[in-house]
Amino acid sequence: MRPLSFHPDELRVLLLRSKIATLDELKQVLGTPVDVTVFRKLKPLDYLTSYSHRGRYYTLREIARFDDHGLWSQADAWFSRFGTLLATAEGFVHRSPRGYFADELAPRLHVPVQDALHQLTQQGRVSRQIVSGRYLYTAIDPTVQRRQLRARRSVEFLPTAVDAAVLDVSPEEAKAAILLFYSLLDEQQRRLYAGLESLKLGRGGDRQLAHFLDLDPHTVARGRQQLLAEDVEVDRARKAGAGRKRVEKKRPK
């Protein structure tokens, strides 16, 4: 009796049509209950496994349209140019100019990453340093790691940057821009701006903003309290003649 013959083209047709498929769906189209048979036929097709959903979904590399970060999604399943979740997290950490905290990397990859980062640390594929009381994951290479730590610690001095990981400029440039903007405000606006940024930071925000903007912490607290109480002198910040000019309606002749 001749052994059954399975054609990989059948898998390619399915994936081109549906974009992604599970192992059970692939076995069904081949008409085999054997996992090894599916993987043997997938191999010459240059397939990818999702790094989300515990690698449940499969696609072809020719189908994926990776974004600038090397990621692609289809029906909530995420695929990476790097391959597995471990390889993807490792690639992101090594290429980051400032390393990553776990809660910064998770939204970038759209999946929980704490366990993956722990495994990478255990395997010696990424390094872990304590910065601002939290674990920062950095590259293993000492030169890259020093550069990441230097950049991260510089960014930590920017309390007004809600997500320092997405800064498109250097921390020094960001600080200069913030201080220039701050210098253009009047006394009340400066106090209110400091109070607003303190509210974003939460506990300890008054002290951080006071240090960053060279203010008394009580001034920051006052601005924060004014905002919460809606106790703001609106007219005071307006100069005579400022704003849109009044337009008189023409009376019909």
Q: What is the pLDDT of residue 149?
A: 87
Strand partners, 135: 130
- Least reliable range by pLDDT among 29-43, 70-84, 91-105: 29-43
Helix (H) or strand (E) holding 209: helix 205-213
Contacts 24+ apart (CB under 8 A), 87-95: 88/51, 89/113, 89/116, 89/117, 89/120, 89/126, 90/120, 90/125, 90/126, 93/117, 93/120, 93/126, 93/137, 93/138, 93/139, 94/126, 94/139, 94/140, 94/141, 94/144
Tokens standing for residue 47: 């397939």
Cβ contact 90:126 at 8 Å: yes
Q: What is the pLDDT of residue 218?
A: 92
pLDDT score of 50 more than 90 = yes
Cβ contact 220:206 at 8 Å: yes
Across the chain, what does the average pLDDT equal?
84
Rounded to two decimals, what is the model's pTM? 0.63
pLDDT score of 213 more than 60 = yes
Q: What is the pLDDT of residue 211?
A: 80
pLDDT score of 160 more than 80 = no
DSSP string for residues in 140-194: SSHHHHHHHHHHHHHHTT-TT-S-GGG-SS-HHHHHHHHHHHHHTS-HHHHHHHH
pLDDT score of 6 more than 70 = no
Q: What is the pLDDT of residue 4?
A: 46
pLDDT score of 69 more than 90 = yes
Q: pLDDT per residue over 145-159, tens digit each?
A: 998 888 787 666 666
Q: What is the pLDDT of residue 248?
A: 46
Q: What is the pLDDT of residue 45?
A: 87
Q: What is the pLDDT of residue 167?
A: 60
Rounded average pLDDT over 111-137 = 93
pLDDT score of 87 more than 60 = yes
Q: What is the pLDDT of residue 54?
A: 93
Q: What is the pLDDT of residue 240?
A: 43
Q: What is the pLDDT of residue 78?
A: 97
Cβ contact 191:223 at 8 Å: yes
pLDDT score of 133 more than 60 = yes
Q: What is the pLDDT of residue 112?
A: 96
Taking the C-alpha atoms of residue 10 and residue 41, their distance in angstroms, rounded to an integer, is 9
Residue bearing tokens 């990441």:
148
